[in-house]
């Protein structure tokens, strides 16, 4: 069977996707699968790369450029990835990958794929929509104010007043559809709030402003379709308050504590909320559910990531590894879940 590994992509998380893809290439069981590389460039071109029968010698193989067409790479139409006896692994993060668009395309060309479907991807990617849905099932979340670009453009003063009437400084300002902390900043006063809003609107016309809270960050890995499994929570142990892009991928000074050293009741609660959120959002395949935990042991669900960071150092595969499911087996499970999901719809 073939795995069509879709990576790169048009979002600001392009480079993260390449890192995730490389880890996948290192762990796939090549005695069962061949891997067809398909790279999506930053400007949205689809480039078909080599078909791998074994672990590649280096990461070089992933750096496909359409200029090389003819030797190792060839520009294709997206629908040309369709083939029998294959499953797509869209290891794409952020908009145009994790937000239901690619998933919808794959449904349309009738290809099985790994991970969440259209509705789950779209509603989990959009932080405002996620909050509305999870509110309906009583999952605790930090106070927030959604602000659309139009509202901000028409009446900035009203937006300031609305935020300051509901929240206290500092506040976290986020594009509703993004990941890897791209476009997110913390605002300590009105001036910074204005800057933060302008920054966030570079990425999305939908922005959410949240109460900033001092909290530990714990994450639960979820795996399954109808039968949903969760891991014990892990903790992102950081010496910075804001787990930003640099601390995620550049600085390398984040430690993951697995399992998190937290009371058993809190572990249980986090897993319950993670499962409830996943089920409510219609999850399938996988998700990583992120929480804030205050010093009073109050839990707030922050978000669900339907295609979490997938490098061998990332939290999601590490949580499963510690639960007894090594990276290669995890990929295998995800492929089976994707195939089951596809066959069930037939």
Rounded to a whole number of angstroms, the minimum distance from the CB of residue 197 to ligand ATP is 15
Rounded to a whole number of angstroms, the minimum distance from the CB of residue 305 to Mg ion is 4
Count residues near ligand ATP (CB under 6 A): 19
Q: Which is nearer to ligand ATP, 39 or 172 (CB)?
A: 172
Among 9, 49, 115, 179, binds ligand ATP (CB under 6 A): 179
Q: List alpha helices for 257-326, DSSP H.
A: 264-280, 315-322
Structure tokens at 283: 């999850």
- The owner of tokens 């996620």 is 130
- The owner of tokens 């509305």 is 132
The length of the chain in residues reads 346
* Residue 61 burial (CB count, 10 A): 17
Rounded to a whole number of angstroms, the minimum distance from the CB of residue 290 to Mg ion is 4
212: contact with ligand ATP by CB under 6 A:
yes
97: contact with Mg ion by CB under 5 A:
no
Q: Which is nearer to ligand ATP, 34 or 101 (CB)?
A: 101
**144 pairs with which residues across the strands?**
210
> CA 237, 239, 241, 244 torsion: positive or negative?
negative
Among 123, 290, 327, 334, binds Mg ion (CB under 5 A): 290
Q: Which is nearer to ligand ATP, 112 or 233 (CB)?
A: 233
254: contact with ligand ATP by CB under 6 A:
no
Distance CA 288, CA 305 (A): 5
- Residue by residue, DSSP assigns 251-269 as S---EEESS----HHHHHH
Q: Which is nearer to ligand ATP, 204 or 217 (CB)?
A: 217
CB 37 within 8 A of CB 3: no
| Minimal CB distance residue for Mg ion | 179
Q: Which is nearer to Mg ion, 303 or 333 (CB)?
A: 303
Q: Determine which helix (DSSP H) or strand (DSSP E) holds 125, and give its type and residue range.
A: helix 118-125
Partner that binds at residue 233, options ligand ATP, Mg ion, none, CB closer than 5 to 8 Å by kind: none
204: contact with ligand ATP by CB under 6 A:
no
Among 95, 179, 183, 224, binds Mg ion (CB under 5 A): 179
* Binding flags for ligand ATP, 266-305, as an x/- string (CB under 6 A): ------------------------x-----------xx-x
Structure tokens at 158: 């009203």
Residue 312 phi, psi (nearest 5): -70, -10
Distance CA 332, CA 346 (A): 22
Question: Contact residues for ligand ATP (CB under 6 A)?
Answer: 142, 172, 174, 178-181, 184, 210-213, 217, 242-243, 290, 302-303, 305
């Amino acid at each position: 069977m073939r795995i069509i590994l879709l990576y790169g992509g048009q979002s600001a998380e392009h480079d993260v996707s390449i890192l995730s893809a490389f880890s996948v290439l290192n762990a796939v069981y090549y005695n069962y699968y061949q891997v067809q590389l398909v790279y999506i460039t930053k400007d949205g071109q689809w480039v078909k790369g080599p078909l791998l029968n074994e672990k590649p010698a280096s990461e070089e193989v992933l750096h496909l450029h359409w200029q090389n067409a003819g030797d190792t790479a060839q520009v294709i139409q997206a629908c040309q990835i369709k083939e029998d006896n294959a499953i797509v692994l869209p290891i794409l993060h952020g908009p145009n990958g994790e937000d239901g668009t690619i998933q919808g395309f794959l449904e349309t060309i009738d290809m099985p794929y790994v991970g969440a479907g259209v509705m789950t991807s779209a509603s989990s990617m959009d932080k405002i929509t996620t909050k509305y849905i999870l509110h309906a099932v009583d999952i605790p979340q930090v106070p927030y104010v959604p602000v659309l670009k139009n509202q901000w453009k028409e009446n900035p003063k009203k937006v300031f007043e609305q935020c300051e009437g509901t929240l206290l400084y500092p506040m976290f300002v986020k594009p509703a559809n993004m990941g890897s902390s791209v476009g997110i900043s913390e605002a300590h006063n009105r001036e910074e709030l204005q800057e933060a809003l302008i920054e966030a609107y570079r990425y999305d016309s939908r922005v959410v402003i949240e109460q900033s809270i001092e909290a530990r960050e714990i994450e639960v890995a979820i795996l399954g379709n109808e039968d949903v499994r969760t891991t014990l929570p892990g903790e992102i142990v950081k010496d910075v308050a804001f787990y930003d892009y640099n601390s995620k991928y550049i600085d390398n000074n984040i430690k993951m504590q697995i399992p998190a050293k937290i009371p058993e009741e809190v572990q249980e609660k986090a897993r319950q909320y993670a499962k409830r959120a996943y089920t409510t959002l219609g999850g399938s395949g996988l998700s990583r559910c992120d929480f804030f935990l205050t010093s009073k042991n109050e839990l707030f669900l922050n978000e669900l990531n339907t295609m979490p960071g997938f490098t061998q150092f990332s939290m999601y595969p590490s949580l499963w590894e510690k639960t007894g499911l090594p990276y290669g087996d995890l990929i295998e499970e995800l492929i089976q879940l994707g195939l089951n999901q596809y066959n069930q719809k037939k």
